[in-house]
Amino acid sequence: MKFPLNDGTYAHLWRIVQTSDYRQDYLKVPTSAEDEIKRIAQTYMPASCWRPAPLILIAANNETLMELMRRKDLPAIMCVAEFYSYRKRPNSSTKPKAVYLHVVWLQEEFLPYLCPENEARFQQIDWDKYLPNTKVNK
């Protein structure tokens, strides 16, 4: 599956895990909902199966997530996916480079994979920011 991005390119879905078994009861609410959601997401990403890549969360801001976590009202489904997008390096004539990202988001239903709100957030990811640095050989 491919998803359009705001810059006119696409991101391709490589693999996805969806679960409704991610919410936990806490003795003490974590200090950062974003960090906690990423920590939980990593438990669904075995290193033997997933490429090394940055993990980003597309969601409402941390304060909103914290409030939902405190009220035990986080969305029912956690999705963790590996995407890739071919990116051209600035000022380069070389072939586009595949950039991989692990993306986590929360939503109420299993399908569609990205609800409209999360799809809008996904389209705004700056994929070029994750291009690997290259050194010019002299």
Query: How confident is the model over 76-93, as a mean pLDDT?
Result: 90
Query: How confident is the model over 99-111, as a mean pLDDT?
Result: 95
pLDDT surpassing 60 at residue 134: no
| Residue ranges covered by each domain of the chain | 2-130
**Is the pLDDT higher at 136 or at 69?**
69
Q: Look at residue 137 in the predicted model and tell me its pLDDT.
A: 31
Contacts of 38-46 with C-beta under 8 Å, sequence gap 24+, read 38/104, 40/78, 41/78, 41/80, 41/102, 41/104, 44/17, 44/19, 44/78, 44/80, 45/17, 45/80, 45/102
pLDDT surpassing 60 at residue 138: no
| Total-model pTM | 0.89
Q: What is the pLDDT of residues 1-41, one digit of tens each?
A: 999 999 999 999 999 999 999 988 777 889 999 999 999 99
